[in-house]
Structure 1
């Protein structure tokens, strides 16, 4: 019943929207935060430096669909915590697909939220043997964005990603261009 309601609301939203000028946005961000891995052979916690690139298509002035790719690498403290763990995580990343919504505060200023799914692909070493695990999980983001008249934008936000092998919390800054 709930899935049917969501499908109907999404269909009505798509069909009822008129053409929006400048409906395409490309962007990227860099973030810093924490990562908690629950891998098949061990657990590993620490900090992370994350990079995210995305393409967003606005369906209306307030809603869009976004496809992105996140890649992350161990931070300084993760190198120390990997000494206490038998698993050494070198990187993780993968594609994500999100529904984007924004609430305008004033001209060019908006609060936004992204709700979606992400594919987490984790590469790590265990006793000098390379391993790889992959899972699909949730990706949630909230933040503030400032859009300028020339189409450029800046944003700050928070990202929470969770799957059975990874929990990630990042704060990030980014830039984007609307065309």
Structure 2
């Protein structure tokens, strides 16, 4: 939890350097993570609550960048007949493309990289951490309540592979504040 709070403060600190610039935004959402896990020749599905903080900058009406931190919850599965529970989190950066559908409704496509981490515990007391860097894809649908405040719905996809291959989809609802 302490590392999570440090990451959240760091993300908000980074966003502070772009706050004065028009086109900058910060946001957050909470939602639901699904985990598709393949380990030891078996497939497992698990889900948990997830949340995300993000900050970004739109260079033009179309192109921008975004950084994020996401807690994707826990996933449970088996490896070689041992029960495993992993706490999943990731952070990363993406290029964004925003398409205005109306004056108030928009879609943002995101593609970038995510550094993921899975802190795991195996039945019998063995524990450790798997880490990696993989492709991040996202889609945001937003509705502008006014010039500063948007309501957003997100879908994010991150895949990680070490001892187990875990594909995570996070579905979230939240807000975005535009500067």
**TM class by smaller structure:** 0.7 to 0.9
Flag the structure with higher strand content: 2
Judged with a 3 Å threshold, the aligned counterparts in structure 2 of structure 1 residues 52 and 39 are, in CA distance, closer, same or farther, namely farther
Q: How many residues get paired?
A: 152
Counterparts of 1:21-170 in structure 2 under 5 Å?
A: 22-38=22-38, 45-74=45-74, 86-89=83-86, 91-126=87-122, 127-164=124-161, 165-170=165-170
Deviations 1:53-90 (A, max 9, x none): 1110111112110011111223xxx56x67x852122x
* Structure 2: tracts of 5 or more residues without a match: 1-20
- Computing the radius of gyration from Cα coordinates, the structure with the larger value is 1
Under a length normalisation based on structure 1, what TM-score does the superposition of the two structures give? Answer: 0.75
1:176 pairs with 2:172:
no
Alpha-carbon displacement from aligned partner over 1:72-130 (angstroms, at most 9, x marks no partner): 223xxx56x67x852122x1112111011111011121111111110110001012121
Q: 1:39 to 1:56 in 2, by over 3 A?
A: farther
- Tell me what 1:6 maps to: none
Query: C-alpha root-mean-square deviation of aligned residues, in Å?
Result: 2.4
SS in 2 for 1:106: coil
- Structure 1: gaps of 5 or more residues: 1-20
Contact 1:120 1:134 in 2 (8 A): yes
CA distance in 2, matches of 1:28, 1:162: 21
Q: TM-score, normalised by structure 2?
A: 0.75
